[in-house]
Structure 1
Amino acid sequence: MTPVVDSSWFYWAVGVAIGLPICLVALTELRVALTRRSSGLARPVGMIRNYVLPLAALLLLLVKATEVPAQATPVRIVSTVLGFVVLVLVLSGLNATFFQGAPEGSWRNRLPSIFLDVARFVVIAVGLAIIFSYIWGANVGGLFTALGITSIVLGLTLQNSVGQIISGLLLLFEQPFRIGDWVDTPSARGRVVEVNWRATHIDTGSGLQIMPNSVLAAASFTNLSRPTGEHTLSVTTEFGETDPPDDVCRLLERVAADLPQLRPGAVPTSAVAGAGEYQTSIPLRSPADAALAKTTFLRWIWYAARRSGLRLGGVEDDFATPERVERSLRIVAPTLRLNDSDRETLLAGARLTRYGADETIQSPGQIPTRMTFIVNGRVRLVAKRVDGAVVPVRTVDAGDFIGSTALTREPVTSGAYAVDEVTVLQVDREHMEQLVLRKPLLLQDIGRTIEERDDDVRRALAAAGD
């Protein structure tokens, strides 16, 4: 009688009985360590421990320990289940190894999901073919031949449609734009809101433009959002040919520098384009600000050009007629304690002009050269915190004034901007000095206003936590 230790099945049985618990303990510790590190490999290791290793041990016991033939149905069933589990493990392992946690901007991160789906389908098809061929003895060669012939026929029949899809998929793989980017294409300009394997959806502001990816792949377009923070708006304006070019460029740059959409730290530039035209380049924070920045800039330079005596579009400003100036002096007369003689005297030094809504009239820290009296509209006074944040102080309207420190030649503590279109009457410092010399009470009123404005600024900053 053959001793048990001389039987081959004995060593297989002992090896499985000892090796299986050791491998289970080792894989358990490895999975716990990977889980603590939030590694994507924790799930594949768990599948090896819970499914692959027990099924492999069972298969060894059936074939080697109990010597069941490989063609037996129980062995084939266990082998098939093990093959399916290994197939799932391969898919999970590839996903965890190559695509989970892929670096931003790498080809693994840019790979479209449809490519992953096709790759998974190919791996599953090949895996099933191997399982049915080697375990069940099925003839899969004929099936692959039929599929190949069918693919060729379909490819020739649908070559135009398939070519468009492939072009779109290649565009997705390259990823020249992402969700939220602003693009300028031959047929649409707007923000990308959705990208799939067939088409790109662009929000143009007046609707949603659905553009096939194959069209974008064959066309030239501009991604306005790349490089990040490098978008510049270019605006063309036209002035009178006799207007001094340096004065026009300074005006355009000054107005552009006050735009709220201007990129922090950037400086706008303006250059002569010829024939009375000027090109102004305005660095913006985002392409999304371009439309609002352009409309605000064009609106503000209309007012600024008239205040500076420049002819935007070649048109002279005829707003400040003597009649309007006279009426404006009557409106501010109670504030300045003017009589008829005083109004006649101030006519030579008064200047009537306008500011557009949200336009800056006075900046904090500025030393005014004239006092500004509000004839029509509203002006909001603001203070600036240490961190640059703007804090509202109060709103003044017709009959009130700003720039009162023009007489003391001190910087103003509050800024001012127009709430809506504002008409103001500006009086030069020299004429105001002559007026207050004749009217000591007016000087006291102005001094009291300076103190009140300073108190208002201090209270506003204290309430804002500065």
Structure 2
Amino acid sequence: MSQQTFLLIVLINVLGVAGIVVWHLQGRNRQNERLVTQIFFFMLMTAALAFAKVMPFQFAAPHLEGTGPLEVAAKILWWTHLSWATIGLVRIYIVLDGRPREARLIQDLLVAIVYLGVLLSMMAFVFGVPIGTLVATSGVLAIILGLALQNTLGDVFSGIALTLGRPYIIGDWILLGDGTEGRVVASNWRSTYLLTAGHNQVVLPNSVLAKQSVTNVSKPDETHGVMMPLRVVPSIAPDAVAAVLRDAIENCNSIVHDPPPAVCLVAIDRTAISVELYFRVTSPSQRSVARNEVIDMVYRHCMVHGVEFAMPTGTQIVSSSVESKGTISRAREIVETVSVFAALSSDERDTLADLGVARVIPAGETIVAECSIPQTLKIAAGGILMLSQGGEDLLRLAPGDCLGVRGFFLGNPEAHQARALTRAVVLEIDKSAIASLIAKRPGLTDDLVAWIRSRNAAAAVHGGALVLSDISDDELAIEIRTALEVTV
């Protein structure tokens, strides 16, 4: 071998090692610079190999003496730089707009193919390994490994299919065909992790997930539809039943009001009107909260409007020991919806109901103004009322909710405004009626204190809480007695 050839082979090795060092020094975040560097060193090495008349894609049995090891090292470095230059092109130019995960998967597959091809090329053209025999042997081993790793490989290929198909992304709420549902919190080539509503983590192999139907509840948006069936006694016209139930679900605060909820009359017979309530919630995790509120609102509205629930299908009524509510006034039913009056006797509730005055409120009219001090306790008896502050809506009120509590019981100006969204009915009870009850039943003051504090805690969720943290129960009781002008 001539001196020139020897120097060229040494130069190739030096260029190969220098290219590797520069490649590592540039860092992962400079892909364009890395690619230019790899192409530059690869072209220099190719030119040097050509001048040295060394063909990297032809096998020549090397001699262990002399420059044989240097020639083998030069070929290995040349193939290594070829693979890195190709991988650099793949990383930069294989891009899918708006689909980074799919692009990354395709890039990884192409990179694996490049590495495999270069490895086989080095074995064939550098070390002279018979590729045909190697492939045949590898095929037998691949069959054995494939049978042994059948489930794992199934998970991997299913993960690839799910990644490319993209039926869901991290953060989506999905429902599977077997009833399993939850939010996708992590996903890899083997498994998908779901966080259920019970805050449990479910690990699903991708092969199992790929065989099931997947409903993506988060698409096209996170809101989720809920249907709740209902049966009521056909004691009033179906249209009136629908109006009562529509007011009930529109009175809920935990559901989505755009699009508005709907009431569908499904069927009617001698015993019941079958109704389906349709509404949407902000996310699947809010279904239980919304159902609870809808059931509570339906009960309140049906009670104050005289709508009775039907017996379950197939139930035979042998006798009825329940006293008809026909003799109970509507005012009495409204008073019974207020929890603080639950401890009163039947006669005391009748007295309050008799002293109450029902007032019809047109839609849009203000019932309690901000900074006012109401002189009557106002109890919502029908329709939809809205509590607001500074022009911002805070809370919808239902039958049984009280208005003007701050001014009536504490004598302080009201911090909120209450207005009627629809035609509404309000039962007004004068201070003297409550004061006479407290005079006869002093323990009612303690009930009022506990009731006001519970209302305050519930209102804090919607930003409508009173400032009561610095007031003790005894001080609050004194303020109530003073505001109501209770005389012992």
Amino acid at match of 2:292: T
Per the alignment, in what secondary structure is the counterpart of residue 238 of structure 1?
A: strand
Query: What CA distance in whole angstroms lies between the structure 2 residues aligned with 1:323 and 1:169?
Result: 62
2:357 matched residue in structure 1: 350
CA deviations on 1:217-250 (whole Å, 9 max, x unpaired) are 2222322112225632222223223243222322
Cα distance, 1:266 vs structure 2: 1.4
Query: What CA distance in whole angstroms lies between the structure 1 residues aligned with 2:93 and 2:362?
Result: 58
Query: What CA distance in whole angstroms lies between the structure 2 residues aligned with 1:197 and 1:345?
Result: 68
CA deviations on 1:276-304 (whole Å, 9 max, x unpaired) are 22111113333333232222222222222
2:377 matched residue in structure 1: 373
Q: Structure 1 residues 299 and 344 mapped into 2: Cα distance closer, same or farther (>3 Å)?
A: closer
CA contact (8 A) 2:233 2:307 kept: yes
1:284 matched residue in structure 2: 281
Cα distance, 1:44 vs structure 2: 1.9
Cα distance, 1:267 vs structure 2: 1.3
2:133 is the alignment partner of 1:142: yes
278-287 or 158-167, which moves further after superposition? 158-167
1:303 matched residue in structure 2: 300
Query: What CA distance in whole angstroms lies between the structure 1 residues aligned with 2:230 and 2:276?
Result: 7
1:92 matched residue in structure 2: 88
2:405 matched residue in structure 1: 396
Cα distance, 1:270 vs structure 2: 0.8
TM-score normalised by L of structure 1: 0.59
2:49 to 56, 59, 64: 59
2:188 is the alignment partner of 1:196: yes
2:97 matched residue in structure 1: 103
1:442 matched residue in structure 2: none
CA contact (8 A) 2:367 2:419 kept: no
1:175 to 157, 166, 175: 166
1:152 to 129, 143, 146: 143
Q: Structure 1 residues 325 and 260 mapped into 2: Cα distance closer, same or farther (>3 Å)?
A: closer
CA deviations on 1:172-193 (whole Å, 9 max, x unpaired) are 4322122211122214122222
Cα distance, 1:40 vs structure 2: 5.8
Q: Structure 1 residues 87 and 229 mapped into 2: Cα distance closer, same or farther (>3 Å)?
A: same
CA contact (8 A) 1:202 1:209 kept: yes
Query: What CA distance in whole angstroms lies between the structure 1 residues aligned with 2:206 and 2:259?
Result: 35
Amino acid at match of 2:245: L
Query: What CA distance in whole angstroms lies between the structure 2 residues aligned with 1:138 and 1:246?
Result: 87
Per the alignment, in what secondary structure is the counterpart of residue 52 of structure 1?
A: helix
Gaps of 5+ in 2: 16-28, 312-321, 342-349, 369-373, 396-402, 431-462, 464-488
Gaps of 5+ in 1: 1-8, 21-37, 332-342, 353-361, 405-411, 418-423, 430-459, 461-466
Amino acid at match of 1:55: M
1:223 matched residue in structure 2: 216
1:131 matched residue in structure 2: 122
Q: Structure 1 residues 351 and 170 mapped into 2: Cα distance closer, same or farther (>3 Å)?
A: same
Amino acid at match of 1:383: S
Equivalences, count:
348
2:417 matched residue in structure 1: 414
Cα distance, 1:42 vs structure 2: 4.7
2:266 matched residue in structure 1: 273
CA contact (8 A) 2:174 2:181 kept: yes
177-186 or 308-317, which moves further after superposition? 308-317
1:239 matched residue in structure 2: 232
CA deviations on 1:137-160 (whole Å, 9 max, x unpaired) are 333332222111211233345556
CA deviations on 1:111-170 (whole Å, 9 max, x unpaired) are 684x75554333212111112322343333322221112112333455566445534542
Query: What CA distance in whole angstroms lies between the structure 2 residues aligned with 1:221 and 1:345?
Result: 56
Amino acid at match of 1:104: G
Q: Structure 1 residues 257 and 111 mapped into 2: Cα distance closer, same or farther (>3 Å)?
A: farther
1:79 to 75, 78, 92: 75
Cα distance, 1:382 vs structure 2: 5.0
Amino acid at match of 2:98: E
**Aligned-residue identity in percent:** 20
TM-score normalised by L of structure 2: 0.57
Cα distance, 1:272 vs structure 2: 1.1
CA contact (8 A) 1:182 1:288 kept: no
Query: What CA distance in whole angstroms lies between the structure 2 residues aligned with 1:218 and 1:126?
Result: 33
Amino acid at match of 1:194: A
CA contact (8 A) 2:387 2:394 kept: yes
Cα distance, 1:87 vs structure 2: 0.6
Cα distance, 1:344 vs structure 2: 8.2
2:319 matched residue in structure 1: none
Amino acid at match of 1:296: E
Query: What CA distance in whole angstroms lies between the structure 2 residues aligned with 1:322 and 1:288?
Result: 37
